[in-house]
Amino acid sequence: MSTILIRGARPYGEEPSDILIDGERIAQIAAAGTLAAPEGAEVIDAEGLIALPGLVDLHVHLREPGFESSETVLTGSRAAAKGGFTTIFAMPNTSPVQDTAGVVETVWALGREAGYADVHPIGAVTVGQAGEHLAELGSMADSRAHVRMFSDDGHCVFDPLIMRRALEYVKAFDGVVAQHAQDPKLTIGAQMNEGSLSAELGLGGWPEVAETSIIARDALLAEQVDSRVHVCHLSTATAVDIVRFAKARGIKITAEVTPHHLLLTEEKVRGFDARFKVNPPLRTESDVMKLRAALADGTIDVVGTDHAPHPVDSKQKEWDHAAMGMVGLESALRIVHATMVNTGLLDWRGVARVMSETPAKIGSAAEAGRPLEAGELANVVLYDPEASSVFTEADLSGKSTNSPYLGLELPGSVEYTVYRGTPTLRAGVPAAEEEVARANRTRLAESEL
């Protein structure tokens, strides 16, 4: 396995340091200029770059199996590397749905084969995500994929009895149910945020009570059975108040916010550009400000991208008929930089908390989200905070291009990603598939000796 010396990076944006990586792990961290490169080591000049623990995303749609024209485990995990992620959690809305041990093991194995990141499948809560019968939660938990997070994302677990049973079941192995909080009855025909703008544009409205009523119900169910519930892509100011109230009662509730809900508002819908069509919808400016503040003060725990690739023909349609969702892995850190760091709401340790450490804990990914210290896994992202560029399709490494940021000037640049001691991104360019796969095979073979 390889040896890497990172010269002069600033861990968490603090004092410049040298970071020596030997095989899978960080061997040593010392003041910049004090470590010598071992013979044959790859040397990365990281002067001016910030070093963070490899990022962790609890909310990614990889589309495989079944929808490989949109994304695959390989292309999605390569996009993750481009964005600085070393651990991603794959949502179950595939075909077949990830609701059995066999399917989650398939996705897990595809991730190991690709080698760009640790891929953790998320198991469906109900069979086929149909909301009628619990899926094989225990079998998925006991499988080689070791599933600990379950969700019907894209669909709400609307039946309160099934939600309660799921919370009771996952408690046995410290699992968590991640809820897509959307009352289906209140959002029939919904096309955008409900309010004066939806009335003006003549589009069906998605009211905030459709989100808040489910979050409140699930918080009380989680309290009753003393289990863990996680709110996916929270989007409204009132939902923040409910989560804050629940946490104050000691309820085991966590929540995530997407980068696009930290930056974009419903005003983007005026142009009827379907890149901005997403579920839950873009909300108001006051919602955005409340979400930023809640992420800063810890009410919202983590950032999750809800990376949702779609082929061009699914988005280039009239608004009413276009698919919901947008890609976000490659742009997430830059959006958090723009909305949370440049506004003074988070420092770089705070970014590590919400994009690496806490999501790893919620997902029970024990080896991920660890601090940059000797002895820890060498999952590292090197980021240039002084860079700035217009975001283009060249910045995307997955199969789909439905990004809402195309043409926008964004701060920063992800320069290097190191996953378990293997560079998967160098100078902003993803490493070749064969190089990554070869290094991964060597690592896995050595770990099995």
Catalytic residue IDs: 306
Q: Is 180 annotated as a binding residue?
A: yes
Of 386, 389, 390, 379, the closest CA to residue 425 belongs to: 379
Q: What are the φ and ψ backbone dihedral angles of 41, each rounded to 5 degrees?
A: -75, 145
Q: Is 310 annotated as a binding residue?
A: yes
The strand pair at 253-257 and 302-303 is best described as: parallel
Q: Is 342 annotated as a binding residue?
A: no
Q: How far apart are CA 435 and CA 270, in angstroms?
A: 45
Contact yes or no for 278/324 (Cβ under 8 A): yes
- Residues with Cβ within 8 Å of residue 444, at least 6 apart in sequence: 112
The strand pair at 380-390 and 50-53 is best described as: antiparallel
Q: Is 93 annotated as a binding residue?
A: yes
Q: Is 63 annotated as a binding residue?
A: yes
Q: Is 306 annotated as a binding residue?
A: yes
Counting every residue written for the chain, the total comes to: 449
Q: How far apart are CA 178 and CA 149, in angstroms?
A: 7
Q: What is the CA radius of gyration of the chain?
A: 21
> Read out DSSP for 253-307?
EEEEE-HHHHH--GGGGGGT-GGG--SSPP--HHHHHHHHHHHHHTSS-EE---B
Coil/strand/helix, residue 58: strand
Q: How far apart are CA 294 and CA 274, in angstroms?
A: 28
Q: Is 133 annotated as a binding residue?
A: no
How many Cβ atoms are within 10 Å of 76's Cβ, its own excluded?
Answer: 31
Q: Is 59 annotated as a binding residue?
A: yes
Contact yes or no for 136/100 (Cβ under 8 A): yes
How many Cβ atoms are within 10 Å of 182's Cβ, its own excluded?
Answer: 22
Contact yes or no for 283/266 (Cβ under 8 A): yes
Q: How far apart are CA 423 and CA 116, in angstroms?
A: 9
Coil/strand/helix, residue 223: helix
Coil/strand/helix, residue 430: strand
Binding positions for substrate are 61-63, 93, 279, 310
Query: Which residue positions form the known binding site?
Result: 59, 61-63, 93, 153, 180, 233, 279, 306, 310
**Residues tagged in the binding site annotation for Zn(2+):** 59, 61, 153, 180, 233, 306
